[in-house]
A = this chain, B = another copy of it.
Amino acid sequence: MGKLLDSIDSPKDLKVLSLEELNRLADEIRQLLIRFCRRHGGHLGSNLATIEPIIALHYVFDMPHDHLIFDVSHQAYTHKILTGRRRAYTDPESHEDLSGFTSPKESPYDDFILGHTGTSIGLACGMAAQRDATGGKANIIAFIGDGSLSSGPAFEGLDWAAEQGGNLIIVVNDNEMSIAENHGGLYKSLAALRASGGRSSDNPFRALGLDYCYVEEGNRIEDLTEAFRRVKDIDHPVVVHIHTRKGLGLGQGSHGQIGPTSVAQGDRNTAHMTSLPDLPAEGPVEANHWQDGLDSLDRLPNSRKTYGRMAMQALESRFPQEPGLTVISPATPLSNGIDPDFRQRAGNHYRDVGIAESHAIAYAAGIAKAGGTPVVATSATFFQRAYDQIEQEMALNGSAVTLLVFSTGIAKTDATHSGTADMVMMRGIPGLTCLAPTSGAEFLDMLAWATGPARQPVVIRVPGERTLATERAGKPTTPVSDPSKTDAECGSDPAPWDRYRILQEGKTVAVLALGDALPLGRDLADSLEKSMGLKPTLVDPHRYDRLDEQTLNALASTHSLVATIEDGQLDGGWGQAVAAYYGPAHVRTLAFGATKEFNDRVPQATLMERYGMTVPAMAQTISDALADQAS
């Protein structure tokens, strides 16, 4: 065992193998992926489903002359293993070497950096158009999961493909499962196609003008190679709908005996098992989707889950009284603390609309118009997919929609999942009240306001790790709204977050630290006092869509330098707005934040160094500015 894989340095090495050997190779890869994900963490379920399809594709086609474009691309581990990158999966020392997504920087077999949903077909259409314009012959293959099909860009691509014509192979990898659950009428049709061996008349692909074929045993290499051979060099777009099994090979005690037999038996239940017996996981589905690594065993829940759960708990208590209070998640609920138990209890108060962010916002605006109270929760990076609906349906229409923005800030992330630009994006849109709470209590306070008296578009940036660490350490956090006021009095304030909060009165220097940067601001203030004997004023702005000009004016009269710190991109951000406000005044400004750039899995400490955002670096910059001012 393990010998076959050692001989595969490129897809060429596949082509000499017998079917029996290909099956053995699939088993080796399956065991390798389970080992890898157990230790390192990763998208286990989807990768277990795609082992045989990817082997068959590389066996039949000739990459990189032919092109294979994975949608989202988190299911491409086997592709990486077969294209000269297996060491990152076999050698624990190298586990961190590769992106979890495709990347042209890693390999000529990867055409794109992809991590968002639904664009593989459009990209493939473009590559095919250019091939046809230049007389090329390559096969262009898009590989897209059923979960991605609910997204608008995927539909736009499917719709265009038929019109374009020419060779284009769209492999629909149907494992009957999106990230959490599949949603939408499309999935009824996919189910009917599966049940009928592809013969059901309500065929969404044929209805978009596409040729179609079906492979029931999508994890059987011989069936896959036969189907792919049939469509190789085809002269028009075709959908190859393959029925695969998410998490195939996972199951209680089963991963020791994985082999062709277990695959052929195809016990459906194993695909839905919670996780490997000794692995931490939550929920039956997400465990397959994302497997936490061993190092997560001792970890406390992160800020996303902690604050997400707090928010859901607060909302849930109101469900009985408020029929229109609705949490909407465009997939990925669990990562944001929207647990299966909550979803179960919430009933129609919770809606997973699938990977369909544009719809999530339009849907929420409709609920709000009709008097309901929708809360849309997802990651910063995915709200990008609804920019136009946030601007038009939500902001312009003044819809009482609340957005909970998770996974924000300067952190080690995949390049495709950065959380640094969300504040820049949101604050650029008129009509949004954008809040950055600095404690769990304030977060709940803001959520209560946004889903209560506000009746206007509100964006809340969920607190991050620094705030959570501060709270866990029992250090001081920001107070909630005036406890002497009753709820009704609080509610009567049309804009309770308009004013900045002065946390410490000082002189010469004012430090304005936004949201999750507030703990940094506190440390900076302490450092300035200790190292320079200078006690600065410390301010919690907790709002980033506009300025509290009254407080800024007051600061100007008693301070010569105002420093802003934000846990996000400087360019286009709130700190630049503060600087511009003081532009004509005597006050000087320093804005600390992230450089506008893409980063791929760069450690947070490295980024903070690079951006001059460590406490010593900021203290030094302030000291230099004061010296320059005095000169």
Contacts and interface: CB of A to CB of B under 8 A. Distances in A.
Interface of A: 104, 111-116, 118-119, 121-134, 150-163, 183-186, 188-189, 201-204, 206-210, 323-324, 326, 348, 351, 353-354, 356, 358-359, 361-372, 374, 384-385, 387-389, 391-393, 395-397, 415-416, 421, 424-425, 427-431, 546, 569-573, 575-577, 579-580, 582-585, 588-591, 596-598, 625, 628
Contacts of A127: 366-367, 369-370
Copy tally for this chain in the complex stands at 2
A389 B153 contact: yes
Contacts of A161: 185
Contact of A427 (B131, B571, B584, B598): B571
A362 B188 contact: no
A369 B324 contact: no
A589 B583 contact: yes
Contacts of A104: 397
A392 B579 contact: no
B588 A131 contact: no
Nearest to A134: B323
Given A326-B129, A369-B111, A163 B183 contact: yes
Contacts of A188: 162, 209
Given A324-B130, A597-B430, A580 B584 contact: no
* Chain A, interface SS category: helix
A358 B156 contact: yes
A589 B580 contact: yes
Given A119-B389, A208-B204, A385-B388, A159 B130 contact: no
Contacts of A351: 129
Contact of A369 (B112, B204, B546): B112
A123 B424 contact: no
Contacts of A385: 387-388
A123 B384 contact: no
Contact of A129 (B160, B356, B366): B366
B153 A153 contact: no
Contacts of A397: 104, 112-113
Q: Which of A183, A356, A374, A575 has the most CB of B within 10 A?
A: A356
A129 B363 contact: yes
Q: Which of A113, A130, A582 has the most CB of B within 10 A?
A: A130
A66 to B, nearest CB: 12
A29 B103 CA distance: 58
Contacts of A125: 359, 362-363, 366
Contact of A584 (B184, B203, B590): B590
